[in-house]
A and B are shown apart, each in its own frame.
Chain A
Amino acid sequence: MTKLIQSLMYGLNLGSIYALTALGYTMVYGIIRMINFAHGDFIMVGGFTLFYTIPVMKNMGLPLWFAVVVAIGVCVVVGVLTEQIAYKPVRGQGSTTALITALGMSLVLENGALVLFGSAPRNVPPMFSLPTIELLGASIPGQTLLTLAIGIIVMVILSFFIKYTKLGKAMRAVPEDKVASTLVGINVNKIITITFAIGSGLAAIASMMYTTSYVSIKNELGISLGLKAFVAAVLGGIGSVAGAMIGGLLLGIVEILVKVYMLPGTYEAVTYLILIVVLLVRPTGLLGKAVSEKV
């Protein structure tokens, strides 16, 4: 029982990392129908920013969570630059071009990091020092609980933002109908840029959660994490914000449970197997809307 609670908590923690990353994928896909493969690499960028800014914050005597603010800033800048330089010119060129450009940008970020930071894994210094907490007989590190709480709070805020604010409504309107949203006075290009900015900011928060739990970062971090988060987005139904959250949390819990109770080496295979089964049974994902095919 203790083991189960412990693994569930770890699963929720990993799941909220996936969920925050999946949100970035799902929002971008919803709005411009492009799998942004570079999104996983934004997390890597955030991780390296944390790695370099935490010692600086320590020296300057500032609170360490300031580093997260810096990371969010850097990720938003990288995300918006990626969109403006690479994605905007190829918009409307078809899905093949968009897909390859995204793959290319992912390679650019990854290899740019390789040139700048080298290929050796780095350990991000701890940001929080919290005591281990006893919960129903299971001992869980304080930072796991804290990051889990942060992740859930961010997701709640984002849900409210998308549901009730004017900007959020515009972000929901553009994927529905681009022309109609232009007619009612929405600046589509601006909304797309804002979507990228929010997605990249979420990636920075995800990288904070990742580094507090898993410490070590590497220039190739983005590939596997990004792919897994994308799987989460597809599972939940791509384009659906609630779906991304549910898909992410579900995936995290399943992965940890498989790791703990079944063969530890195979959890990735299980993840992808679930994806295939879900796509074959319900091609639009758990919460996705069925898109009628043009005839």
Chain B
Amino acid sequence: MPKIMKKKYIINIIAVAMVFLLLCLLFDTGLLGRKAAYFNGLVTIGMFYTIIVCSLNLLTGYMGEFSLGHAGFMSIGAYTSAIATTLISDHAELPNIVLYLLAIVIGGLAAAIVGVLVGIPALRLSGDYLCIVTVAVAEIVRVILSNFGIPAITGSATFGKSFAGIAKVSDYHYVFITMVICITVMYCYIRSRYGRALISIREDRIAAAASGINVTKTKVMTFTISAAFAGVAGAIYAHYITTLVPTYFNFSKSSEFLAIVILGGSGSMTGSIVAAPILSALPQLISYVFPEFASYRMLIYAIVLVVVMIFKPSGLFGGKEFSLPNLLLDRNYRKKKVSLDENKA
């Protein structure tokens, strides 16, 4: 490994560790006092949003296809993991960390299986048609969850139209580490052989196929990975909120995820990482800071979305990645960036 790469890895690891320590400082030392629980909630929600938004960015930014059904995959992960952990914890006392790990693995796997099953036929379509099929899948999942509850499979949890009494094991320490691992895996996937193949398919499907890339396989694999991470996010959500309602995972939720991807910058992982926590917390923060505007919060959010689309349709990061090591180590980085922009214009 070249020395410069080593340096860059070390800077990134230090940066991630510093964010983690900052969170620990804020929430574990009682610095925020009584408000700690509120902000803790915002941060945890922001973290599972980051996972699902990044997973959707895999599809939107790198495969060039939309999914307006990611809330569906999320609900599959959420419900499956919740049923599993409820059944398990009824029979055996497990430490929280084990239960949490089981939840995210089961949630991710369940969503991945559905992702394969949906992806193989659906990825024959593309563009708006694929988009509407993902909406249809998510709606079917939602209708099934709203109608076919397994009545009280366990003693402690009730499962029907809503599912209450899920073990609260999504501690923000675990969630943060999960988020970092998920993002690293997705980032490595994009930089890998498969990721490069994926980008070449986005640019020109026929040319990619002609140079020996298995288009269907790459697309289905990406769709599955994306669904799996959505499932992981769902599992985290279920074990944080502890009560699941099928209507939460509706079309509006899916469109919110897609909107965050686009606002952050489609094709920019760092864009999603910055945009997801801010935009997921924004409506809550508006009503927290200005209670008199509480009823306007979603309206403001929507107007911001439209205005950004009109004036900067490429989103916050516009398909570029932000790199902390480059910013620190490469003195010409800023200059280079500017000159690149000029060339583009």
Interface residues of A (CB under 8 A from B): 29, 33, 35, 37, 86, 89-90, 93-97, 99-101, 103-108, 110-112, 114-115, 223, 227, 230-231, 234, 238, 263, 265-266, 268-269, 272-273, 275-276, 279-280, 283, 295
Contacts and interface: CB of A to CB of B under 8 A. Distances in A.
B132 A275 contact: yes
Nearest to B262: A100
B334 interface: no
A154 B75 CA distance: 41
B71 to A, nearest CB: 13
A112 B296 CA distance: 8
Interface stretch (B11-19, B181-189, B236-244, B303-311): B303-311
B127 A108 contact: no
Interface string B130-156: 011101110110011011000000000
Does more than half of chain A's interface fall in helix, strand or loop, or is it mixed? helix
A108 B295 contact: no
Contact of A107 (B133, B137, B143, B302): B302
Contacts of B310: 86, 89-90, 101
Interface stretch (B162-170, B171-179, B250-258, B272-280): B250-258
Interface of B: 60, 66, 121-122, 124-125, 127-129, 131-133, 135-137, 139-140, 143-144, 146-147, 206, 250-252, 255, 258-259, 262, 266, 295-296, 298-299, 301-303, 305-306, 309-310, 313
Given A108-B303, A111-B302, A223-B251, A90 B137 contact: no
Contacts of A283: 124-125, 129
A93 B313 CA distance: 7
A231 B134 CA distance: 12
Contacts of B131: 35, 99
A90 B259 contact: no
Contact of B129 (A33, A115, A223, A234): A234
B32 to A, nearest CB: 30
A263 B303 CA distance: 40
Nearest to B147: A265
Given A272-B139, A280-B121, A280-B124, A90 B299 contact: no
B140 A273 contact: yes
B139 A269 contact: yes
A273 B259 CA distance: 26
B298 to A, nearest CB: 4
Contact of B296 (A97, A104, A115, A275): A115
Nearest to A280: B121
B133 A275 contact: yes
Which of B121, B143, B206, B250 has most A Cβ within 10 Å? B143
A266 B309 CA distance: 37
A105 B129 contact: no
Nearest to A272: B136
B144 A269 contact: yes
B290 to A, nearest CB: 14
Contacts of B143: 265-266, 268-269, 272
Contacts of A29: 128
B136 to A, nearest CB: 4
Contacts of A107: 252, 255, 298, 301-302, 305
A95 B127 contact: yes
A35 B128 CA distance: 8
A93 B128 CA distance: 16
A86 B259 CA distance: 16
B251 A99 contact: no
Given A230-B132, A269-B140, A275-B133, A96 B121 contact: no
A269 B139 CA distance: 7
A100 B258 contact: yes
A99 B66 contact: yes
A280 B259 CA distance: 27
A283 B125 CA distance: 7
